[in-house]
Each structure stands twice: as C-alpha cells, then as structure tokens.
C-alpha cells in the first residue's frame, strides 16, 4: 500500500494531530516492535509507535531508525517531536484503541475469511494447538491447511515463520501487528484455519483486539504469572475476557477443574464434556468422550484411543476432537464427514509422535525412561509427576527421579509450592537452575527447598543444569524414570542477560550414549 493511501485512510477515520509526508513509497508491513523485525521479511515497513510503560520514540528511537521505516505512525502520547525531519510520520489520537482497524484496512483482512480457534488456560494450550495443526496437515487437503501461532513456533501450512531458538523466543501470543501480519500471510497462502494460543498477558494487553473467533476454548487455571496479575482473581478475569469480550461461534469449556466450572456457569451457551477411561494398556489408553452437539442438541459419544500418558492429556485430546468435530460438521464445506472424523481418530492414536520436539512429557529414552517436560507451574509439575508415578507402577522396582528448578524474574510464590509437589511424589529430587535470568540461582533453589519435607533424604542441589542431568542419569537404573522439567522444547538457557544455547533433550541424549545403565535388582 502506498503511504498516501494509508495516510488518507487515517485522516478520514481518525483524529490526525500532525503529519509530515515527503515521499509516497510503497509499504508492505507494519511493525510494532523492532525485536520482531526478522518475522517481517520485507524491507518496506512502517513503524507503529505506542506509549506503554515507556515511550518508544524516546527510549528506542535509534533502534527504530536502524530498521529504516518508510513511515512512522505515532500515538499522540508519544514524543513525536523526536522524529527526524527526513522521516515520513503521522500522529494519531487514540491509536492504540483503533490499531486493529488500521491493520485490517492495511492488509485487507476480513474476519469471515478465517476459522480462528483460540485456546486459553494455564496448561494444555501448546499440546492442543500443535495436535490440531498436525492432524489437519495429515488430512492432506487444501481445505484443511492451517496456521499455528503459539509458544514454540509460528507456522503457515508447513512453512515455519519463526521458531524458538537462542536468537528468537516467540511470545505465546505475539503483538497485534504480528498477529495481523500472520493472518495476511495465511490469506496469501489460502489458509483459512488458524490455531492460536491466547495468553492471559495478551488478553490483558489487548493484543488480539479485533479478532473474531469461530471457536474458543478454556483448558484449566492454576497458579502462574502472579508476578504480573498479582492475584488469582485477576488472572482468571484476564482469561475470562476471551469468552466475554470476543465474538465466538462456539465455546468449549473444560469444567473438570474448579475455574472451568465457574466459567461454564457464567457462559450459558458453552460446550463441555465428560470422559471415562475404558481400557488402559501398557502403551495406549482408550476413553469414552461425551459431549452435546450444539446445533442438533444430540449427545455425541466417541471412544478415542491414544498413546499419550496422563489424565490431563485425555482432557486436551477431548478439546482437540470436539474442535475438529465442529470444524468438519459446521465450519468447513466437506463431504464424508464421518469418514474424516474416523481419520482424525486414527491420527490421534499416535499423538505422541505428533508432539515430538514440543517437550510436553516427551519420552526420549527407554530403560531408563527419560522424559522432558515444560512443566513450570505447581499444577503442571504435579500432573506430570502423578502420570509418571502411575507409569512406574507398571514396572518392577522403579524410582522416579526429578530434575527441576524455577525461572528467575517470575512469580516467586510458586517455587515453594513446586518443592512441596516434588517432595510428595518424586523419590529422588535434584534441584537445579532453570532460566535464572537476573536472580541468584542459589536463592531460587533455596526457595524451592522451603517446600520440601525436611525428612526427605534423597534431595540434592546442583546449580549447573548439565551436571544435574548427568547426576540423574548416572544414578538411574534400568527401570527408573527420570523427569527433566521446566524447559521442555527450549533450546537455550537465560542466565543474566545472556541467552546461552542449551537443550535438555539434546544434552540428555548425548550423556545417555556415554553411560552403562545398571540393571534393576528384582
């Protein structure tokens, strides 16, 4: 879009305070944060300046000028006097409140062209969106092409736009400019289905403003992010916005948990479900899923088989199946609906393969059984440990060895609670560094120790995460289970202000190749 065309739209629809336009060049994308620059492949960009805690035109002006914006669109609250005279700019009143309208116009985005699925909750978002994206990819038809926007990566079809690495750490839900840019790329690739993780931060900060959903989903809520939200009430109210402030054709709420029940009672037209385990084999679990079709009001009952471990994963799969059901029956024009749903059930039988490299209770080795997991909250850690404890009961003389820590510059109140959970379930505990950031790693470990039973004997502190993993592997016997928790998919460790290359999975596999495992004594 030419600068003059965009400026004309802004002047016609909003209160324009000042402008200086000397060139009429073509702009291909609008960017809100210089740190997201590499997502936007074009050199022809415009910069959006909004004042939050800081004024970007004061603190980051040099960085902004380095990316050579062809136009700066600034909110009136920003110090636009700092903009050099050779830069095109326009100053708008109430820009933040109207930014979604600007982006929809700029990219010619029509919400009715998409089937956007948004999922929120403390745990389960990545598992659900990843499974949906992988399932629809395996259906192998243009109508099922999808975009994934989440914690680990942003993908359009099978093209990775951004993934977690030492140089880039995707936000669970990106800023509003990036979201609309990804929708524009999806439109260009004829992708209608968007599977998006929606974080509490993004809801609180209006990052998804203007998005209209076909399906929204709530997984669960437990203690996390209280460094930001301060109270569980505030945290819940932020999550609830997805269902009270945004359009959604269908709403799915897991009311098996406390906050799900509260939300379900407030949202009268929501779909919920029940599930019952039918059969549990060493490698698979089958369960009966029941829910009511929101259009026909008929009861739907399906037996689903999966190789995923844990009750919480059955709940995640329930949301995946119901979302797929709604898309196939009511949102996509497809024939052979029953046949497609059977295909989906067959694909879900091998869900663990679909979740490889996500670090969600991912088994990377047998004998000893080594799992890596992203669990970094008390509830997530409890779920993973309980699941592996149950798994251990199928083995002879199996011990559960836990390696974990807690992130620095994050909610400190959960550390003691995580220690308490570990103390109750794990047999051997090795406390180590996670991403300490700018906190003292030893202090973090000591705060975790406060929750551990003082009578528990096999508890160690090893600040070096590599040495902690080595220790766990060195003491493990053939039937033992090792859970390395907290970082999951991450391929880095944040120490101070440095992002250091490190992968729990890669390092563990490297060490496992070097050791001889003692047999379990029966």
| Residue pLDDT, tens place only, 66-120 | 999 999 999 999 999 999 999 999 999 999 999 999 999 999 999 999 999 999 9
Res. 414: pLDDT tops 80: yes
Predicted pLDDT of residue 34 = 86
Q: What is the pLDDT of residue 140?
A: 85
pLDDT at 136 over 60: yes
The pLDDT value given to residue 292: 98
* Residues 215 and 117 occupy one common structural domain: yes
Distance (Å, whole) CA 71 – CA 90:
8
Residue after which a domain boundary falls, among 107, 123, 145: 107
Torsion, CA 456, CA 457, CA 463, CA 467, rounded to 10? -130
Cβ-proximal residues to 155 (8 Å cutoff; 6+ apart), any chain: 133, 147, 148, 161
What's the mean pLDDT in 290-309?
A: 97
What CATH number is given to the structural domain containing 503?
3.90.190.20
Nearest residue to 465 (alpha-carbon basis) of 517, 406, 413: 406
Half-sphere exposure of 67 (CA within 13 A, CB side): 27
What digits encode the pLDDT tens for the residues 195-211? 999 999 999 999 999 99
92, 107, 122 - which closes a domain: 107
Instruction: Give the single-character DSSP code of 100.
Output: H
Q: What is the pLDDT of residue 384?
A: 97
Which 3 state secondary structure label does DSSP give 148? Answer: strand
User: Is residue 279 located within the same domain as residue 323?
Assistant: yes
Picking from 84, 107, 130, the residue at the C-terminal end of a domain is 107
Residue 2's nearest CA partner among 23, 33, 31, 32 is 23
Encoding tokens for residue 352? 């663990």
CA nearest neighbour of 377 among 267, 488, 478: 488
Looking at every residue in the chain, the average pLDDT score rounds to 95
Q: Is the pLDDT of residue 522 over 60?
A: no
Q: How far apart are CA 401 and CA 369, in angstroms?
A: 10
Taking the alpha carbons of 271, 276, 277, 278 in that order, is the dihedral positive or negative?
A: negative
The answer to whether residue 329 is domain-embedded is: yes
Provide the pLDDT for residue 40: 85
Are residues 71 and 142 located together in one domain of the fold? no
**Is the pLDDT at 481 greater than 60, yes or no?**
yes
Tokens describing residue 168: 């880039």
Cα–Cα distance measured from residue 94 to residue 237, given in angstroms and rounded to the nearest whole number: 25
Q: Are residues 405 and 343 in the same domain?
A: no
Does residue 212 fall inside a structural domain?
Answer: yes
Give the SS3 label for residue 318: helix
Domain containing residue 55: CATH number: 3.40.1390.10
- Same domain, residue pair 66 and 101: yes
Same domain, 102 and 119: no
- Does 124 share its domain with 98? no
Let me know if residue 376 belongs to a domain. yes
Segments forming the whole domain that contains residue 201: 111-354
Across the strands, what pairs with 285? 280, 306
**How many domains does the chain contain in total?**
3
How many CB atoms are closer than 10 A to CB 335? Answer: 6
Contacts of 6 (CB under 8 A, 6+ apart): 27, 46, 71, 105, 106
CB distance 246 to 202 below 8 Å: no
Average pLDDT over residues 27-52: 90
Residue 469 maps to a domain: yes
Instruction: Kindly state whether residues 217 and 283 are assigned to the same domain.
Output: yes
pLDDT, tens digit (0-9, with 9 covering 90-100), for 208-233: 999 999 999 999 999 999 999 999 99
Structural domain includes residue 467: yes
Q: Is residue 518 part of a domain?
A: no
| Same domain, yes or no: 333 and 418 | no
Q: Which residue has the higher pLDDT, 267 or 169?
A: 267
343 and 391 housed in the same domain: no
Same domain (yes/no): 118, 98: no
The mean per-residue pLDDT over the stretch 455-482 comes to 97
Cα-atom radius of gyration of the chain, to the nearest Å?
Answer: 24
For 245-260, how does the pLDDT look when each residue is reduced to its tens digit (9 = 90+)?
999 999 999 999 999 9
* Cis amide prior to 339 (ω within 30 degrees): no
Residue-level pLDDT at 521:
55
Of the chain, the percentage scoring pLDDT greater than 90 comes to 92
Classify 288 as helix, strand or coil: strand
Whether residue 521 lies inside any domain: the answer is no
Across the strands, what pairs with 148? 155, 195
Using 50, 70 and 90 to split pLDDT, how confident is the model at 407? very high
Q: What is the 3-state secondary structure (H, E, C) of 155-211?
A: EECCEEEEECCCCCCCCCCCCHHHHHHHHHHHHHCCCCEEEEECCHHHHHCCCCCCC
**Does any domain span residue 517?**
no
CA atoms within 13 A on the CB side of 474: 7
Of 312, 360, 365, 359, nearest to 480 by C-alpha is 365
Global pTM value: 0.92
Q: Determine the distance from the C-alpha atom of residue 518 to the mean position of all C-alpha atoms in its chain, rounded to a whole number.
A: 38
Max CA pair span of the chain:
82
> In this predicted structure, what is the pLDDT of residue 520?
62
Identify whether residues 427 and 284 lie together within a single domain.
no
């Amino acid at each position: 879009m030419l600068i003059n065309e965009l400026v004309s739209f802004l002047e016609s629809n909003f209160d324009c305070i000042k402008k200086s336009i000397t060139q009429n060049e073509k702009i291909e994308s609008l960017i809100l944060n210089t740190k997201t620059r590499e997502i936007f492949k074009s050199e022809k960009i415009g910069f959006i300046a909004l004042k939050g805690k800081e004024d970007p035109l004061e603190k980051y002006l040099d960085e902004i000028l380095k990316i050579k914006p062809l136009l700066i669109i600034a909110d009136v609250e920003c110090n636009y006097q700092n903009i050099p005279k050779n830069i095109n700019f326009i100053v708008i009143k109430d820009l933040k409140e109207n930014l979604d309208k600007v982006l929809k116009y700029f990219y010619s985005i029509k919400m009715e062209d998409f089937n956007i699925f948004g999922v929120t909750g403390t745990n389960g978002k990545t598992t659900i969106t990843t499974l949906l994206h992988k399932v629809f990819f395996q259906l192998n038809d243009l109508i099922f092409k999808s975009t994934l926007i989440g914690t680990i990566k942003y993908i359009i079809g099978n093209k990775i736009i951004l993934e977690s690495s030492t140089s880039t750490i995707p936000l669970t839900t990106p800023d509003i400019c990036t979201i609309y840019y990804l929708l524009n790329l999806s439109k260009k690739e004829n992708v209608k289905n968007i599977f998006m993780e929606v974080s509490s931060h993004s809801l609180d900060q209006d990052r998804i403003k203007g998005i209209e959903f076909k399906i929204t989903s709530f997984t669960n809520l437990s203690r996390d992010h209280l460094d930001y939200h301060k109270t569980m009430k505030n945290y819940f109210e932020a999550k609830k916005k997805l269902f009270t402030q945004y359009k959604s054709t269908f709403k799915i709420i897991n009311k098996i948990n406390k906050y799900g029940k509260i939300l379900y009672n407030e949202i009268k037209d929501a779909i919920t479900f029940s599930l019952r385990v039918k059969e549990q084999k060493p490698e698979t679990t089958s369960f009966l899923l029941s829910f009511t079709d929101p259009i026909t009001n008929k009861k739907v009952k399906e037996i689903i088989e999966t190789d995923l471990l844990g009750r919480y994963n059955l709940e995640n799969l329930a949301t995946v199946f119901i979302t797929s059901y709604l898309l196939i029956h009511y949102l996509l024009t497809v024939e052979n609906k029953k046949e497609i749903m059977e295909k989906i059930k067959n694909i879900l039988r091998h869900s663990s393969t679909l979740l490889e490299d996500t670090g969600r209770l991912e088994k990377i080795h047998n004998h000893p059984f080594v799992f890596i997991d992203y669990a970094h909250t008390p509830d997530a850690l409890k779920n993973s440990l309980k699941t592996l404890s149950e798994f251990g009961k199928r083995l002879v003389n199996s011990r559960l060895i836990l390696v974990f820590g807690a992130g620095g510059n994050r909610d400190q109140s959960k550390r003691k609670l995580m220690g308490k959970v570990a103390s109750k379930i794990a047999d051997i505990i090795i406390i180590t560094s996670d991403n300490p950031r700018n906190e003292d790693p030893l202090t973090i470990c000591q705060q975790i120790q406060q929750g551990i039973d003082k009578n528990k004997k096999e508890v160690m502190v090893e600040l070096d995460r590599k040495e902690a993993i080595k220790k766990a592997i060195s003491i493990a016997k053939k039937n033992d289970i090792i859970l390395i928790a907290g970082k999951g998919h991450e391929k880095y460790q944040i120490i101070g202000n440095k992002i250091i290359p490190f992968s729990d999975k890669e390092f563990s596999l490297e060490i496992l190749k070097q050791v001889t495992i003692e047999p379990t004594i029966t």
